[in-house]
Chain A
Amino acid sequence: MNRALPEMLHCLNMPGNVAGGGGSADISVLERQRARMKWQQDQNFLIGNHELNVFSAQQLHQLQGSVSNDPGFAEYVTRAVKQDPGMENGWPDVGKFGGDDHLGYGACGYGNVSGFEMNYEAIARTVSCSPTVAAAISEAAVTETKGKESILPEKLNSAVGRESSKKRKADKNQNLKVVAEEDAKEKRIKGCAEEGDSKITEQNSSSKANISNNNNRETSTDTSKENSKVTEVQKPDYIHVRARRGQATDSHSLAERVRREKISERMKYLQDLVPGCNKITGKAGMLDEIINYVQSLQRQVEFLSMKLASVNPRLDFNTENIFTKEIFPACASTYPTIEVSSEMANPAYFQFSPVQQVVSCCGLEMGITPPDMALRRTTSAPVSIPETFLDPSCFNFSYARIFLYFSKSKPLQPGTLSYKTSIAWSFNKEDQQHFPLRHLQ
């Protein structure tokens, strides 16, 4: 059964974790746990999880309603006491354990009701809020009262549903820790009893949760020996983590493992991205490489932007040159550049496309043709050019895009004309093998 393992875990952990108390406490605690387990199983057998929740809530309401109802309360308490024999055995030990806790075994009677009721109020309130918080508070209640009151918290714990062994351990650890920090808690308990405020109990529970986490770290060595898988169910918005076989199961190490895995996964991505990082292992070296790479990229961007800034005004200047010069020399200017730039120029293309280019250039650089015609001419020739760049060459695509942009937006401006010529030229440079075929399309 699912609960058997956690219980066993619990039992196994207990001996190692008993801070206060002597050897006799171990046995009594074990007995108590077993009895509690049996009791809980009975409870669960009788009532379902949800029903138990409702049942406990009802009980709480009943109790709240009948604060002064001694017989009812006594009945309930006695019933609880009967059903949990382990508790009886544990009472003297708890009394010993608890030391000078005024809410010890002797407080079975009405004198304990105030604190008990306060806890019930807290529990009742928290039951509506969230079951996990209720569990935490129930644990707090357990630690504070250390009496039969723990029955209800236990019920609540089971009512919560998936009771993780970590929770139980936390419960036990809380008990142990509370032994050490009784005085402070006594004061807090008194304060609670006086004020009847659930907030303090919640704070206590949260602080105790922290303490339990600290304790869990200590118990990690013990838990690591365990072979069971433990699901960690804390607040609903937590990431559910499953501890692997043979690994520590407390919340801290689990969270750390999740964090480490996230970091390593992202470092792997960065390794793929940053060139030359395959040989380097370790975060420090990787970070060095990443920083260097980012800096180099940023420097490159700066350099390119300077270059762009220097080239930009020249562009306008040159377009005026285009207009002033004759057509043929202007067109001829494209030839040498084509030759020069494309070392692998296809002769077939060289015959075919430059003609078109020249035509388009002429049409453009004349400046005489109306804008639409110019557009059409330019678009007729390079219509296929964008299609030619279907191969994944980013260089070409940027050119194609720029060309399209200009042809769409401002056809008549001098800047665009030069852009078009240069683009046509640069297209030639880039794509050699595709031109002869695709121009025909």
Chain B
Amino acid sequence: MASPSISNSEANSNRPRDSKRKKRRKTGADAPTGPATNIDRSRWKTESEQQVYSSKLVDALRRRPAAASPESFPVPVRGRAVRETADQVLAVAAKGRTRWSRAILTSRLRLMNNLSRNHKKHRKVRFTGDIRSRKPAVRKTLPPLQRKVRVLGRLVPGCRKLSFPNLLEEATDYIAALEMQVRAMTALTGLLTGAAAPFDRLGSGLS
């Protein structure tokens, strides 16, 4: 079959460059990082990662029924489903080495297992009202730095109660991964919108 040969050739062409990049990465990344940090920082920038991610994403999207059926769900719901699959594929691409990737994957499992029960429990907890008994608007103004750290912790999945240096590290990896995700998804949407566009211009194109 020709296709395996293509993939092999491409993989082979990619491998030496990737190995070079990996060597560079190892020498560069390991030197400054101490014993605690051992995550590569430039692994999200390689093209191979993006290829892997985009292929996995396409695969997941094709498998997912919600994204493929336009009639049953409105666009926003489908968009959310696509986003969730994209995040999960990103977490899979991270190979579970980072905290946020593990959090994404486990949150999905949690949602699948406990759909209604947790929501009810949460609601009960919220409505046990101490609202009136508490004095209104007595909140500690945490130092602004701490507040921002908390906000960042909420943004990065699974990193709410993390120490500041670890949080920064997770954020670094998360930002790199997000950038790669955006690149891959723009490529994919460009591809797909490009495929849709030609058929609209059939009439005008022939002249």
Which residue numbers of A lie inside 8 Å of B, CB to CB? 239, 259, 262-263, 265-267, 269-270, 273-274, 283-284, 287-288, 290-291, 293-295, 297-298, 300-302, 304-316, 318, 321-322, 325, 329, 332-337, 340-341, 375-376, 379-380, 383, 386-387, 390, 392, 394-395, 397-402, 404-405, 407-409, 415, 418-419, 421-423, 425-426, 429
Which residue, A309, A315, A333, has most C-beta atoms of chain B within 10 A? A309
Contact yes or no, B192 A332, CB < 8 A: no
Interface size on B, residues (CB 8 A): 83
Q: Report the bound CA distance from A241 to B4 in whole Å.
A: 53
Contact yes or no, A293 B175, CB < 8 A: yes
Q: Report the bound CA distance from A325 to B200 in whole Å.
A: 13
Contact yes or no, B152 A290, CB < 8 A: yes
- Which one of B3, B156, B169, B204 contacts A408 once the chains associate, using CB atoms below 8 Å? B3
Contact yes or no, A376 B175, CB < 8 A: no
Closest to A376 in B: B2
Contact yes or no, B54 A398, CB < 8 A: yes
Q: Is the interface of A mostly helix, strand, loop or mixed?
A: helix
Chain B 167-207, CB-CB to A under 8 Å as 1, else 0, gives 01101101110110111111111111111111101101110
Contact yes or no, A262 B34, CB < 8 A: yes
Contact of A379 with B6 at beta-carbon distance under 8 Å, contacts A239-B35, A309-B79, A332-B205 already known: yes
Contact yes or no, A301 B182, CB < 8 A: yes
Query: Does B27 sit within 8 A of A, measured CB to CB?
Result: no
Which residues of the partner chain B approach A309 to less than 8 Å between Cβ atoms? Answer: 67, 75, 78-79, 81-82
Q: Report the bound CA distance from A313 to B29 in whole Å.
A: 43
Instruction: Please give 4 more A-B residue pairs, beta carbons under 8 A apart, in addition to A267-B168, A311-B193, A386-B10.
Output: A290-B175, A315-B192, A398-B191, A408-B7
**Top 6 closest pairs, chain A to chain B, by CB:** A336-B205, A422-B195, A306-B79, A401-B51, A313-B70, A305-B83
Contact yes or no, A398 B188, CB < 8 A: yes
Q: Report the bound CA distance from A312 to B145 in whole Å.
A: 43
Query: Does B101 sit within 8 A of A, measured CB to CB?
Result: no
Identify the stretch in B58-66, B105-113, B122-130, B131-139 within 8 Å (CB) of chain A at 4 or more residues: B58-66
- Which one of B51, B59, B148 contacts A287 once the chains associate, using CB atoms below 8 Å? B148
Q: Report the bound CA distance from A336 to B205 in whole Å.
A: 5
Listed by A's residue number, 26 A-B pairs whose Cβ atoms lie within 8 Å are A239-B34, A273-B175, A283-B145, A290-B152, A295-B155, A298-B155, A301-B182, A301-B185, A304-B182, A305-B83, A306-B78, A306-B83, A307-B189, A313-B68, A316-B68, A337-B197, A379-B3, A386-B6, A387-B9, A394-B50, A398-B50, A400-B10, A404-B6, A404-B10, A408-B4, A422-B195
- Which one of B13, B164, B198 contacts A334 once the chains associate, using CB atoms below 8 Å? B198
Which residues of the partner chain A approach B187 to less than 8 Å between Cβ atoms? Answer: 394-395, 398-399
Q: Report the bound CA distance from A392 to B1 in whole Å.
A: 27
Contact yes or no, B175 A265, CB < 8 A: no
Closest to B202 in A: A333
Contact of A332 with B206 at beta-carbon distance under 8 Å, contacts A298-B178, A387-B10 already known: yes
Which residues of the partner chain A approach B55 to less than 8 Å between Cβ atoms? Answer: 401-402, 404-405
Chain B 31-47, CB-CB to A under 8 Å as 1, else 0, gives 01011110001000001
- Which one of A297, A306, A400 contacts B82 once the chains associate, using CB atoms below 8 Å? A306
Contact yes or no, B152 A291, CB < 8 A: yes
Which residues of the partner chain B approach A301 to less than 8 Å between Cβ atoms? Answer: 83, 86-87, 178, 181-182, 185
Chain B 81-108, CB-CB to A under 8 Å as 1, else 0, gives 1110011000000000000000000000
Q: Report the bound CA distance from A322 to B199 in whole Å.
A: 8
Instruction: For the complex formed, measure the closest distance between the CB of B98 and the CB atoms of chain A, giving whole angstroms.
Output: 14
Which residues of the partner chain B approach A265 to less than 8 Å between Cβ atoms? Answer: 32
Contact yes or no, B196 A314, CB < 8 A: yes
Which residues of the partner chain A approach B175 to less than 8 Å between Cβ atoms? Answer: 270, 273-274, 290, 293-294, 297
Contact of A311 with B35 at beta-carbon distance under 8 Å, contacts A287-B148, A407-B6 already known: no
Which residues of the partner chain A approach B151 to less than 8 Å between Cβ atoms? Answer: 291
Which residues of the partner chain A approach B47 to less than 8 Å between Cβ atoms? Answer: 392, 394, 397
Contact yes or no, A418 B195, CB < 8 A: yes
Query: Does B160 sit within 8 A of A, measured CB to CB?
Result: no
Contact of A266 with B4 at beta-carbon distance under 8 Å, contacts A329-B202, A333-B198 already known: no
Which residues of the partner chain B approach A337 to less than 8 Å between Cβ atoms? Answer: 194, 197-198, 201, 205
Which residue, A269, A302, A325, A421, has most C-beta atoms of chain B within 10 A? A269
Which residues of the partner chain A approach B87 to less than 8 Å between Cβ atoms? Answer: 301
Contact yes or no, B195 A290, CB < 8 A: no
Q: Report the bound CA distance from A423 to B82 in whole Å.
A: 21
Contact yes or no, A273 B82, CB < 8 A: no
Which residues of the partner chain A approach B202 to less than 8 Å between Cβ atoms? Answer: 325, 329, 333
Contact of A263 with B185 at beta-carbon distance under 8 Å, contacts A312-B68, A398-B54 already known: no
Contact of A405 with B191 at beta-carbon distance under 8 Å, contacts A305-B82, A337-B197 already known: no
Contact of A308 with B165 at beta-carbon distance under 8 Å, contacts A265-B32, A298-B155 already known: no
Which residues of the partner chain B approach A400 to less than 8 Å between Cβ atoms? Answer: 10, 51
Instruction: For the complex formed, measure the closest distance between the CB of B154 and the CB atoms of chain A, giving whole angstroms.
Output: 10
Which residues of the partner chain B approach A294 to less than 8 Å between Cβ atoms? Answer: 152, 155-156, 171, 174-175, 178
Contact yes or no, B58 A405, CB < 8 A: yes
Q: Report the bound CA distance from A402 to B69 in whole Å.
A: 21
Q: Report the bound CA distance from A193 to B33 in whole Å.
A: 49
